[in-house]
Amino acid sequence: MRNTSKVIFENEKGHPLRIAYPSPALCSLVEYYFEIDLSTATASQSIKGLPAMTTLLAFQLRPAAWTSVNDANGKVLLLQHAQLLGHLTHSCSSTYAPGTLMFFIKLKPGCAATLFRCPPAELENNQLPLPCLFKNPDLEEQLGSADGFADRVRLCNEALQRMLSQLPGNDHRFQIVEHCLRKFESLQLRNEKGLQHLCGSLHVTYASLRRYFLSTVGVTPRFAQKTVRFKKALQEYRSRGYNFYYEDFGYTDFSHFAKDAKALTGCSPLEL
């Protein structure tokens, strides 16, 4: 049977996600919170997650069938209770049954490794039981009994704020990686030449920058750049079709963009 899961972008309308952003004090740690609520749904919802350096803290608040399949190797992840879902190097297709209620904390690149003292390599395409990592083992129960999404966001802001105060400051390697990621997100650097220029402006060799990325976020700078520009290009393609300007995202032609889609997700841009 053909996989029919689709990518959902944060600014789209009509999807089953609720999204909220963290308090200003947590912006360096949390990208955003989101919730999948299929309490009144009559059909399953399939969502494709793109490769990314972010990690997820997932809380299953209501027992329901949930499966997630790595599109590259077919490995099935079974979510039971709270889990830490590591960064993805290939897309992952998840299916949620009617009645599902799941709450997620989307952590920024490298933050899970710092927060839970885990080597990034151990998180790649992996899942770990969250209760043994999280310093608030009661959080899952609190989220389940909370009075709605806004209350769950408040509880997480409070819990993460306490944890953040106990973390060591970022070292210079993490600061360099964060600087690079901001450049990638702004699309100021879209290709190999841009990456070489970035190394020069930071006075580091690519070999050093590669070590910094691997030790903090678990992927190479080239892969990070590739995933960021692909997501932005796919979002533009979704709104403009074949008329989108692939050059704006560092692609030499449309087939270059389609090749990245196939490598990262196993699908053509149209199927995403």
202 residue type, one letter:
L
pLDDT tens, residue by residue, 83-119: 889 999 999 999 998 999 999 999 999 988 888 888 8
Domains and CATH numbers, the chain: 17-164 (2.60.120.10), 172-271 (1.10.10)
pLDDT tens, residue by residue, 20-78: 999 999 998 999 999 999 988 888 889 999 999 999 999 988 877 788 888 988 888 77
pLDDT at 1: 42
The strands making up 76-77's β-sheet, listed across from edge to edge, are 45-49, 92-96, 66-70, 76-77
State how beta strands 92-96 and 66-70 pair. antiparallel
Question: Residue 153, class by beta-carbon neighbours within 10 Å (0-12 exposed, 13-18 middle, 19+ buried)?
Answer: buried
pLDDT band at 223 (very low <50, low <70, confident <90, very high): very high
Q: Look up the pTM and report it.
A: 0.91
Rounded Cα–Cα distance for residues 178 and 182 (Å): 6
Ordered DSSP codes for 158-218: HHHHHHHTTSPPP-HHHHHHHHHHHHHHTTS--SHHHHHHHHHHHT--HHHHHHHHHHHTS
pLDDT above 90: residue 16? no
Ordered DSSP codes for 8-75: --TT-SS-SEEEE---GGGTTTEEEEEEEE-TT-SS-EEEEEPPBS-EEEEEEEE---EEEEETTT-P
Cβ 70 vs Cβ 125: under 8 Å: yes
Cβ 79 vs Cβ 60: under 8 Å: yes
> Which position has the token pair 């608040």?
61
